[in-house]
């Protein structure tokens, strides 16, 4: 970055338009030389801003591979600078299993208001009242809202100055990121039939996947009941024109059918649709042709790979429920490993594993095709391990590994696991989502709140605002015509 300064003299005692007082012999040349020197000094390249390579947080877990890895830096200690409060509790689409300890919660994709943060604005959709919010990232002040006709359960995606979201009302919305004005909306199902769900009407074809954007194309799924049927869909991101649609009622694997719910993953030539309590289904990005179902053999028997959590790294697909993760080839879905844990984050050299009891750093260089991921291989390749119970989310910034858990958020050194910073949350509140950009950390909680943290050296606006419907109400805006 080059900084340039223009030197202006406006003092009437030194009028440049009449420099008669500068006519002393030999003085003017020295002034010219001095001015040139000053200009050279003030136009030297400045030290690069520590966040020059920060590319924002445009979607859930930063990118369409759901890596959770960003080049942004955070300066510790952090302090809370604003809070966006939800008066009503979050109502997930599916309840937690009643047989706690016997059945894993495989479909908790809508357990918080997860934001996208781009160009100084925080965007999120409300599970409570179906509105989409744009907030000022520095102050938390609301810039605009847009009402859909049912819950917005997943984080928006921001691309090319537009905000993309899907709603339980059966539509995909494309909004202007600055003004909130509607560019287009797309009806995902064949008609507008509605059914009762979670105490209010939702579309027979709710859009319960995130809208994944790449190379000018938006990908998403629609419908949750295979007999309806359900669809994998791609549209032009600028116009909303449909490019392809794959009806999936006849696509089965061992009696398993697609029920697209959760965060879509985009590979180089494939789109992976999470399928609620099942493993992801893979389709061609180019034409929507079905490719494979990512669970087979011993991995399926051990429940690995089933659930809405997933990410891509290198040529691997990682998917699973809370507790067991399956590793698969992206190309054909072949099982390449299994690992206990709820979350992983992958850097070029290290796999960071959240097991529920600890955070472990695993040396990637000790894993290969002959020695794939397994509990035994993970132990042999361990770099460091830190006891930490109940991790629910994890991201990696330029120089910190951040972990959210019940009642706290902690930053660890990626190198050795030492604690860099920690903040406590209110009793009974869990940190269920994290995002980092612009020197700020955004924490999504189990109560529906969003907390913003910044450097302790910055002035704090200490703002607190209320979102969503008042406590105890379930009112939603009227459907658009």
Give the pLDDT mean for 265-279: 88
Structure tokens at 81: 């600078």
Q: To the nearest 10°, report the CA torsion of 204, 206, 208, 213.
A: 130
Structure-model confidence comparison of residues 295 and 167, the more confident one: 167
Query: In the predicted model, is pLDDT for residue 36 greater than 70?
Result: no
| Predicted local confidence at residue 38, as pLDDT | 37
Query: In the predicted model, is pLDDT for residue 118 greater than 70?
Result: yes
Structure tokens at 172: 């995909």
- Match 């980092």 to its residue by tokens: 436
| Predicted local confidence at residue 291, as pLDDT | 92
- Condensed to tens digits (0 to 9), the pLDDT of residues 352-383 reads 999 989 999 999 999 876 667 888 899 999 99
Q: Which of 209, 204, 282, 203 is nearest to 246 (CA)?
A: 282
Structure tokens at 158: 């921001």
Do residues 308 and 322 make contact, with C-beta atoms less than 8 angstroms apart? no
Give the pLDDT mean for 34-57: 51
| Predicted local confidence at residue 338, as pLDDT | 86
Query: In the predicted model, is pLDDT for residue 324 greater than 90?
Result: no
Q: Tell me how far apart the alpha carbons of residues 289 and 419 are, in angstroms, rounded to a whole number.
A: 47
- Condensed to tens digits (0 to 9), the pLDDT of residues 303-319 reads 555 678 899 999 999 98
Query: In the predicted model, is pLDDT for residue 102 greater than 60?
Result: no
Structure-model confidence comparison of residues 413 and 461, the more confident one: 413
Structure tokens at 477: 């805006």
Q: Which of 358, 276, 273 is nearest to 105 (CA)?
A: 276
Mean pLDDT check: name the lowest of 123-127, 430-434, 476-480: 476-480
Where residue 97 falls among pLDDT bands split at 50, 70, 90?
Answer: low
Give the pLDDT mean for 84-101: 74
| Predicted local confidence at residue 98, as pLDDT | 60
CA 311 from chain centre, in angstroms, equals 12
Q: What is the CA radius of gyration of the chain?
A: 26
| Predicted local confidence at residue 334, as pLDDT | 87
Q: What are phi and psi of 255, to 5 degrees?
A: 70, 15
| Predicted local confidence at residue 373, as pLDDT | 83
Helices (H), 318-469: 375-380
| Predicted local confidence at residue 363, as pLDDT | 96
Give the pLDDT mean for 439-461: 88
Concatenated DSSP letters of 63-91: STT---B------SSEEEEEEEEESSPP-
Query: In the predicted model, is pLDDT for residue 397 greater than 90?
Result: yes
Strand partners, 242: 235
By three-state DSSP, how is residue 235 classified?
A: strand
Query: In the predicted model, is pLDDT for residue 322 greater than 70?
Result: no
Q: Tell me how far apart the alpha carbons of residues 313 and 64 are, in angstroms, rounded to a whole number.
A: 11
Q: Which of 322, 327, 310 is nearest to 273 (CA)?
A: 310
| Predicted local confidence at residue 164, as pLDDT | 98
Residue 447, number of CB atoms within 10 A of its CB: 19
Query: In the predicted model, is pLDDT for residue 39 greater than 90?
Result: no
Predicted TM-score (pTM) of this structure? 0.84
Q: Tell me how far apart the alpha carbons of residues 245 and 21 are, in angstroms, rounded to a whole number.
A: 79
Give the pLDDT mean for 7-27: 35
Percent over 70 (pLDDT), the chain = 76
Structure-model confidence comparison of residues 174 and 89, the more confident one: 174
Give the pLDDT mean for 332-356: 91
Structure-model confidence comparison of residues 270 and 11, the more confident one: 270
Any long-range contacts for 164-167 (C-beta under 8 Å, 24+ apart)? 164/211, 164/213, 164/218, 164/237, 165/125, 165/132, 165/211, 166/206, 166/207, 166/208, 166/209, 166/210, 166/211, 166/220, 166/222, 167/125, 167/130, 167/206, 167/207
- Condensed to tens digits (0 to 9), the pLDDT of residues 133-163 reads 999 999 999 999 999 999 999 999 999 999 9
Give the pLDDT mean for 325-333: 91
Strand partners, 79: 454
| Predicted local confidence at residue 4, as pLDDT | 30
Give the pLDDT mean for 454-465: 67
Q: Tell me how far apart the alpha carbons of residues 323 and 357 are, in angstroms, rounded to a whole number.
A: 11
Q: Tell me how far apart the alpha carbons of residues 261 and 277 are, in angstroms, rounded to a whole number.
A: 9
Distances 158 to 23, 119, 218 between C-alpha atoms, Å = 60, 10, 11
Distances 39 to 17, 23, 26, 45, 369 between C-alpha atoms, Å = 20, 23, 21, 12, 58
Where residue 335 falls among pLDDT bands split at 50, 70, 90?
Answer: confident
Percent over 90 (pLDDT), the chain = 60
Give the pLDDT mean for 95-100: 60
Do residues 432 and 417 make contact, with C-beta atoms less than 8 angstroms apart? no
Query: In the predicted model, is pLDDT for residue 457 greater than 50?
Result: yes
Q: Tell me how far apart the alpha carbons of residues 396 and 408 are, in angstroms, rounded to a whole number.
A: 17
Query: In the predicted model, is pLDDT for residue 22 greater than 80?
Result: no
Concatenated DSSP letters of 88-137: SPP--SSPPPSSTTTS-------SS---EEETTEEEEE-TTT-EEEEEET
Query: In the predicted model, is pLDDT for residue 328 greater than 80?
Result: yes
Q: Is the peptide bond before 77 cis (omega within 30 degrees of 0)?
A: yes
| Predicted local confidence at residue 466, as pLDDT | 55
- Match 């989310």 to its residue by tokens: 393
Query: In the predicted model, is pLDDT for residue 21 greater than 50?
Result: no
Average pLDDT, the chain: 82
- Condensed to tens digits (0 to 9), the pLDDT of residues 178-190 reads 999 999 999 999 9
| Predicted local confidence at residue 104, as pLDDT | 54
Distances 36 to 7, 24, 205 between C-alpha atoms, Å = 11, 20, 68
| Predicted local confidence at residue 323, as pLDDT | 77
Query: In the predicted model, is pLDDT for residue 69 greater than 70?
Result: yes
Give the pLDDT mean for 260-285: 90
Alpha-carbon dihedral sign for residues 178, 184, 188, 191: positive
| Predicted local confidence at residue 371, as pLDDT | 66
């Amino acid at each position: 970055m080059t900084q340039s300064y223009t030197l202006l003299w406006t003092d009437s005692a030194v009028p440049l338009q009449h420099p008669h007082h500068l006519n002393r012999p030999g003085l003017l040349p020295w002034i010219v030389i001095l001015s040139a020197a000053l200009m050279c000094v003030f136009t030297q390249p400045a030290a690069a801003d520590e966040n020059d390579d920060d590319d924002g947080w445009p979607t859930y877990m930063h990118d369409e591979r759901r890596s959770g890895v960003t080049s942004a830096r955070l300066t510790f200690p952090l302090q809370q600078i604003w809070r966006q409060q939800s008066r009503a509790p979050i109502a997930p689409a599916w309840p937690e299993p009643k047989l706690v300890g016997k059945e894993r919660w495989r479909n908790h994709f809508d357990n918080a208001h997860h934001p996208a943060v781009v160009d100084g604005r925080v965007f999120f959709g409300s599970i409570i009242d179906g509105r989409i919010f744009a907030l000022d990232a520095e102050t938390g002040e609301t810039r605009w809202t847009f009402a859909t006709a049912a819950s917005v359960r997943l984080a928006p995606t921001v691309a090319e100055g537009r905000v993309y979201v899907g709603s339980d009302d059966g539509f995909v919305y494309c909004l202007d990121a600055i003004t909130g004005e509607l560019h287009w909306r797309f009806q995902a199902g064949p008609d507008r039939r509605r059914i009762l769900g979670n105490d209010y009407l939702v579309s027979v074809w709710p859009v319960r996947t995130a809208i994944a954007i790449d190379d000018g194309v938006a990908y998403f799924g629609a419908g949750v009941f295979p007999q309806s049927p359900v669809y994998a869909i791609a549209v032009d991101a600028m116009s909303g024109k449909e490019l392809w649609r794959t009806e999936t009622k006849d696509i089965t694997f061992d009696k398993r059918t697609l029920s697209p719910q959760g965060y879509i993953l985009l590979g180089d030539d494939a789109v992976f649709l999470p399928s609620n309590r099942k493993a992801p289904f893979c389709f061609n990005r180019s034409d929507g042709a079905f490719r494979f179902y990512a669970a087979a053999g011993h991995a399926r028997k051990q429940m690995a790979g089933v659930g809405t959590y997933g990410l891509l790294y290198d040529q691997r697909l990682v998917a699973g429920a809370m507790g067991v993760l399956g590793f698969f080839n992206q190309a054909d879905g072949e099982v390449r490993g299994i690992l206990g844990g709820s979350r992983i984050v992958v850097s070029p050299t290290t796999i960071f594993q959240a097991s529920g009891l600890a955070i472990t750093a695993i040396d990637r260089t000790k894993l290969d095709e002959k020695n794939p991921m397994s509990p035994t291989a993970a132990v042999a390749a361990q770099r460091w391990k830190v006891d930490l119970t109940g991790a629910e989310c994890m991201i990696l910034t330029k120089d910190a590994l951040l972990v959210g858990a019940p009642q706290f958020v902690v930053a660890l050194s990626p190198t050795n696991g030492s604690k860099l910073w920690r903040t406590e949350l209110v009793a009974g509140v869990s940190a269920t989502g994290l995002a980092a950009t612009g020197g700020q950390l955004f924490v999504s909680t189990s109560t529906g709140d969003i907390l913003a943290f910044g450097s302790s050296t910055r002035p704090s606006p200490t703002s607190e605002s209320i979102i969503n419907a008042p406590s105890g109400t379930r009112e939603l805006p009227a459907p658009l015509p």
